[in-house]
Chains A and B, each alone.
Chain A
């Protein structure tokens, strides 16, 4: 591989987007070329800047306790020397004795016990902190799990209410270019002010964009919320649409900036009209 060829594949290489054969040639070239190694370093800097340039979002505070408890509780560690808490020293004193000969020894023992006691206490505090963190994490996990179950139940209940509504409308939506392969179905109930929506084969979204679902009624587009499909382009949601008071003439999905917009601005990816 020449210098020029090496420079050509470097940007792909630092993003792991190169193929295996050129990677091997590049590695071989780099081994004997200081200038190209320096050039590669600059691309790595650019790649690291990409990593750091994502919007900063702090994790939930609960994750800290959960993570630390899970990790520190795990005793498998590659570290060569790990400080283990010492067992409590057992000091046996004679049952009957005169005080005098033991005074000096007692002072030494007290000093020793105090020193060991401190070490012991520190180790115990450390262990207690880990135990506390573990339990806090478990409680948080249980609360989260209970909330999730509750939320799932509410969602199922809502889906059932929509599906059994007297005024249920069925809308099949077809993909529009460039989302030709996309398909979606929606169940709309005005009495429930809700739309149950499922879609598949939606294209991946560009950065900082979301899909937004719209109900078009009386010439007005009413937002039914935004969504991001999974890696296979699928989504399923129940949208509460209080503003949906008249029968919709059509449903549409557009691509919009994150957070959604009050009225559609982006390209239409899905469109459909009620079947009944």
Chain B
């Protein structure tokens, strides 16, 4: 079947079959990430639908030079899921598909990079082997969308320590992915 680049181009020209190809290829990634963030199947399904609606609308503007389709969809999925999580937390009514246009394409200037299967596996191992406080800080930032200040408050930890935990945690994942030796030292 079509490679990503061709499928995106065809979807951009309005070819529904190309959307089906991309859905079959990426819906599990999008849904799994949304479910991990929202922990609710109904919300994760809604986010999945929104992500592919955004892909359909913006495919013609997607620049393959900018990066990979999977990474693009992950960024959109995370952004939309976190947005929904925040609305849920604030008690505001959840917007439906009609609110699609109100949400801009997240960080359009960002370069997108996709990890290979080996790198994902390495990241999973690295995350599992992190000290619990580093892992928690990373998870609160990535899967709950908290800022460093919010993480400090949530975990009753000084801001400097939170920064160090996130930095050290992500460095370890980066190093494991790239096969570098693990850094020494941790929190001050």
In the complex, the answer to whether B141 meets A17 with C-beta atoms within 8 Å is: yes
Residue in B19, B123, B124, B139 whose beta carbon sits within 8 Å of that of A72 in the complex = B19
Known: A11-B171, A41-B113. A231 touches B88 (CB 8 A): yes
Contact call A55/B114, Cβ cutoff below 8 A? no
**A40 nearest in chain B by CB position:** B111
CB atoms of B45 and A63 under 8 A apart: yes
Binding site for A on B (CB under 8 A): 12-16, 19-20, 23-24, 27-29, 31-33, 35-36, 39, 41, 44-45, 48-49, 52-53, 56-61, 70-71, 74-75, 77-78, 85, 88-89, 97, 110-115, 119-120, 122-124, 127, 132, 135-136, 138-149, 151, 154, 163, 166-167, 169-171, 173-174, 177-178
Q: List residues 38-72 of chain A with CB under 8 A from any CB of chain B.
A: 41-60, 63-64, 66-68, 70-72
The reply to whether A11 and B170 form a contact with Cβ atoms under 8 Å apart is yes
| 8 Å CB contact of B148 from A17, A54, A66, A77 | A17
Interchain nearest-CB distance for B97 vs A (Å): 7
B84 to chain A, nearest CB (A): 10
A233 to chain B minimum Cβ distance, whole angstroms, is: 10
- Majority-rule SS of B interface residues: helix
| A77, B88: Cβ atoms closer than 8 Å | no
Contact, CB under 8 Å: A83 / B14: yes
Check A8 against B111 for contact (C-beta < 8 Å).
no
Contacts of B44 in A (CB 8 A): 59
Which of chain B's residues have a CB closer than 8 A to the CB of A54?
A: 32-33, 35-36
Q: Tell me the minimal C-beta distance from B47 to chain A in angstroms.
A: 10
Chain A residues, Cβ within 8 Å of B140: 204
Top 4 closest pairs, chain A to chain B, by CB: A49-B123, A82-B14, A11-B170, A49-B115
In chain B, what residue has the closest Cβ to A203? B154
Q: Does A34 contact B (CB under 8 A)?
A: no
Extra contacts, 8 of them, besides A12-B166, A51-B33 (Cβ < 8 A), are: A12-B167, A17-B151, A46-B173, A50-B123, A64-B23, A68-B19, A77-B14, A77-B56
- Asked if residues B174 and A46 are in contact (CB atoms below 8 Å), the reply is yes
Q: Report chain A residues within 8 Å CB of B166.
A: 11-12, 15, 17
